[in-house]
Amino acid sequence: MQWIALGVLALALTTIPGTAARSPEQHYLYVATPGIRNYVEYGGIGLIVYDMDNGHRFVRRYPTFDLSPGDAPENVKGIAASAKTGRVYITTLKRLGAFDATTGQRIWVKEYEGGADRLALSPDGTILYLPSFEGPHWTAIDAMSGDVIKKLVLDSGAHNTIYGASGRHVYLAGLRSPTLSIADTNTHTVSGGVGPFSASVRPFTINAKETLCFVNVNDLLGFEIGDIKTGKVLHQVKVTGYEKGPVKRHGCPSHGIALTPDETEIWLADGANSRVHVFDATVMPPKQTVTIDVRDQPGWITFSLDGRYGYPSTGEVVDTKTKKIVATLSDEDGKPVQSEKVVEVVFADGKPTATGDQFGVGRKR
């Protein structure tokens, strides 16, 4: 296909570290598309790279998965990256691909039983936890080879997945379960859980110490908080001043929740009202403080590693101190880009040195 050929040519001409001389570190936002269902009008198909140090300027687009003539675009379901291995991983409904973070080169693409959903990568970059597409199981995978290590069957509608900062536990949310399951990554077996919450768990996040989880649940404009150590539900927090309404996607009022890296704030998606609500997380239960208007219905939120920028899936770049929109993502033709699957990659001396996460997870340790 033409776009694939153009992408390969771009790879031959330049790579990320080949940009003009800059400060010792360069920060890039990697955006996988189509990252809003399979809607190509929000960024087309591929992995788009933005220069975070230069107004989030478009840098280039890398090709990702081959499509045969007549094939529909595949929804991108998740993205993860590792500085230790220099790889970026992307899932679609059908498959998982590993890509070189520096050149964009495709390393391998594989299909797994039951399809693929929003994956998680271990802190050392060696193990992937891959949920089947809203199916009965997760698969632990060798991140270098793509080989299967073990399958975990929970029959919960496998979906959102977060690896804890310690690397000892991975957190597994199923669309059909009100309990957030916890797996031991040494044995690859379920070792505990948090809940039950008031309804099925949707997007969620955790703090760096892995003591608290903050979860969206069906039918709630707000979030609930669980104690990871005891498994108990602690609080339910509702948005005030706004009402629930119809949403375009995901079927729940709040689909998207993120903890700032310093763990002082929680940012919450409000689909029906096209808003992001900010809560003070230094008090318990957290207190609603500021609301940010966005250009469409948000379905995800994450942050830059340093906490300077917030990224709702609607494509705005928000200054976390002022709560003002400082940039909007656009493609090589100037068209707006939206995606729920974004991750930061930091380079120094031409090599990846740090990576963020598609989830807005706490980093205060």
Q: Mind listing the pLDDT tens digit for each residue in 50-97?
A: 999 999 999 999 999 999 998 999 999 999 999 999 999 999 999 999
Per the structure, the complete domain to which residue 250 belongs is given by 195-323
Residues 145 and 2 in one domain: yes
Residues 222 and 281 in one domain: yes
3-state helix, strand, coil in the chain (%, to 5): 5, 45, 50
Beta bridge partners of 234: none
Residue identified by tokens 């009100």 is 178
Residues 206 and 165 in one domain: no
Whether pLDDT at 295 is above 90 = yes
Q: What angle do CA 72, 75, 76 make, to 5 degrees?
A: 135
365 band by pLDDT with thresholds 50, 70 and 90: confident
Could you give the 3-state DSSP secondary structure of residue 219? coil
Residues 215 and 86 in one domain: no
d(CA 294, CA 315): 9
Residues 91 and 149 in one domain: yes
> Considering the chain, what is the average pLDDT of its residues?
94
State how far Cα 159 lies from the chain centre: 12
Predicted pLDDT at 15: 60
Q: What is the pTM of this model?
A: 0.94
- Pairing between strand 233-238 and 287-293? unpaired
d(CA 201, CA 223): 10
Residues 159 and 41 in one domain: yes
Residues 348 and 285 in one domain: no
Whether pLDDT at 14 is above 50 = no
**322 phi, psi to nearest 5 deg:** -90, -20
State how far Cα 154 lies from the chain centre: 22
Predicted pLDDT at 11: 38
Task: Tell me how far apart the terminal alpha carbons of the chain are, to the nearest angstrom.
Answer: 47
Amino acid, single-letter form, for residue 9: L
Residues 49 and 130 in one domain: yes
> Domain for residue 280, yes or no?
yes
Buried b (16+ CB within 10 A) or exposed e, 170-200: bbbbbbebbbbbbbebeebebeebbbbbebb
Residues 138 and 73 in one domain: yes
Residues 302 and 334 in one domain: no
For residue 234, what are the CA distances in angstroms to 206, 215, 237, 285?
14, 11, 10, 9
Whether pLDDT at 5 is above 80 = no
Query: What total of structural domains would you count in the chain?
Result: 2
Beta bridge partners of 223: 237
State how far Cα 179 lies from the chain centre: 20
Assign residue 241 the CATH number of its domain.
Answer: 2.130.10.10
- Pairing between strand 325-328 and 316-319? antiparallel
